[in-house]
Structure 1
Amino acid sequence: MADFNRLLPLARTIIFGIVAFFSIIVLGISAHLVSLPGPSPDYVNLALATSILTLIALPIIFIIPLKRRGAAPSFVAVEVVTLWLLWILWLATGATIANWLPGLVFCNGGVCSELRAIEAFAFLNWLMLMFYSFVLLTLAVTAHHRGRTGVWKSSVPDFDWNHKSTGVVGV
C-alpha cells in the first residue's frame, strides 16, 4: 500500500509549486496583453484574474498549515473547495481562449503565440489542480466513511492518511 502520509504532502508541494510557476508566467503574459493599446478582451482579463487568485490562494492554503495548526485555511474542506474553484477558473480560461483563438482575424504572430501560451498553461494548471483535488477528495471521503470524520478539519500534512479505522461511522 502507498504511504499517503509522505506521498500526498510531497505531491501537494510539487503540484502547488508548478501551478504557482505557471501562474506567474500567465500573470506576466496576460499583464502584457492587457497593457496593449485598446480594450483588452475578456479572456485575457480572465487569465489575469485567475493567475492573481491562484497566486493569492495557493500560498495561503500551503503556508498557513505549516505555521498555525487549526486555522480555517488549513482545513482539508477549505483546501478542496479552494482547489475546485481554481481548477474551474483555469478550465474556463483555457477553454475561452481555445474558443476565441481560431476566430481572431487580426492576430499577429506575437499576440497569437502569447495567447497559445496562456491556453497551454491554463490547461496544464487545470489538469494538475483537478487531479490533486480529486485525489484529496477521494482520500478524505474514504477516511470519513471509515469513521474518521475529523478529516475535514485537519490539514493535509498533519492527517494520518494511512490509518485504517474500524470504528463506527460518524464517531
Structure 2
Amino acid sequence: MTFLPLFRLVTFTATLVCAIIVLGLAAHLTSLTEEARGGYFVFAAMAIAVAVLTIITLPVMIGVDSARRGAFTSMVLVELIWIFILWILWISAAALASQEDEFVFGDGNSCDFADSNTATGCHEFAAIEAFSFLAWILLMGYNITLLVYAIIGHTRGSHTWFSTVGDGLLTRRDDAPAFSGSQPNPVSDKQTPVSRGGAYSTPAPSSMQYPPQQQQYAQPMTAQV
C-alpha cells in the first residue's frame, strides 16, 4: 500500500475514534445539563451532530472504496469537498466548546468542585474540546495533502479529480504515450541499414535492376558492285 491510501486509512480511523469519544461525552453532558438545568449547551448539540455525520460517512467511504473501485464516493473531488465540510464543522464545534468552557468555568480551573456532576461536566468540557480539535487537525492535514497530490498529478497529465486515491494520483493516466522527443519515420523500414559513418549507404550499382530493353541495331549493308 502506497503512502496516500495508508495515510487516508489511518486518518479516517483516528477521526472515527475521536468522533465516537466526542459523541459519548457530548451525549452524557447533555443528559447531565437537562437533568440539572433543564436545557443543553449549543456546542454539545453541535458536537453530537458532527460526530454522527462523521461516524456515518467515513466508514461508508472506506467500505465502498475497498469493495468497488471507481465509486462516486471515492472520487478525489467528492472526497475533498466532503472532508473540507467535516473539518470546518469540527473546528466550529471545538471553538464553541472552548468559548463555553471559558464562560462557564473560567480560565485556569482545575475542575475541583464539591458537586460530582459539576466536576464531571468540567472534565467533559475539556475532553470534547480536545478531541474536536484533534479531529479537525487530522481531517485538515489529510485534506491539504490530498489537494497537493491532486494538483501535482493533474500537472503530470493524470485525471486526478475524478479518480480515486488508490489509483495513484501521481501516475500518468492518459492513453497517449509520453513524448520522447523523436517522431517515428514511416519510411525508416524501407531504407538500407545505416553505415558506421552515420549516413545511409547508397545501393551498389550491381544491385540495381533495370527492365530489359530491346535495342535495335541497324542491319549491315552489303556493298553492291
**TM-score, with structure 2 as normaliser:** 0.67
Following superposition, the deviation at residue 71 of structure 1 comes to 2.0
Is 1:161 matched up with 2:169?
yes
Task: Provide the residue aligned with 1:19 in structure 2.
Answer: 15
Q: Alpha carbons of 1:56 and 1:167: their partners in 2 closer, same or farther (altered >3 Å)? A: farther
Is 1:87 matched up with 2:60?
no
Following superposition, the deviation at residue 70 of structure 1 comes to 2.6
Q: Distance in 1 between matches of 2:59 and 2:161?
A: 19
Following superposition, the deviation at residue 162 of structure 1 comes to 3.9
Is 1:132 matched up with 2:142?
yes
Is 1:54 matched up with 2:50?
no
Following TM superposition, the consecutive aligned residue runs of length 4 or more in structure 1 with deviations greater than 3 angstroms are: 164-168
User: What aligned pairs does 1:5-154 form with structure 2 within 5 A after superposition?
Assistant: 6-36=2-32, 37=35, 38-104=38-104, 108-148=118-158, 150-154=159-163
Following superposition, the deviation at residue 122 of structure 1 comes to 0.3
Q: Number of matched residues? A: 162
Q: Which runs of 5+ in 2 are unaligned?
A: 112-117, 180-225
The question of whether the paired residues in 1 share the 8 Å contact of 2:101 and 2:125 is answered with: yes
Following superposition, the deviation at residue 24 of structure 1 comes to 0.5
Following superposition, the deviation at residue 105 of structure 1 comes to 5.5
SS of match in other structure, 1:104: helix
Q: Distance in 2 between matches of 1:144 and 1:103?
A: 47
Deviations 1:36-80 (A, max 9, x none): 221111110000001000001111211111112232101111111
Q: Distance in 1 between matches of 2:87 and 2:8?
A: 14
Q: Distance in 2 between matches of 1:136 and 1:68?
A: 20
AA matched with 1:136 = L
| Larger Rg computed on CA atoms | 2
**TM-score, with structure 1 as normaliser:** 0.87
Q: Distance in 1 between matches of 2:61 and 2:178?
A: 30
**Larger proportion of helix:** 1
Q: Distance in 1 between matches of 2:52 and 2:45?
A: 11
The question of whether the paired residues in 2 share the 8 Å contact of 1:33 and 1:111 is answered with: yes
SS of match in other structure, 2:9: helix
Which sits farther off after the overlay, 40-49 or 55-64? 55-64
Structure number with the bigger relative contact order (C-alpha 8 A, sep ≥ 6) is: 1
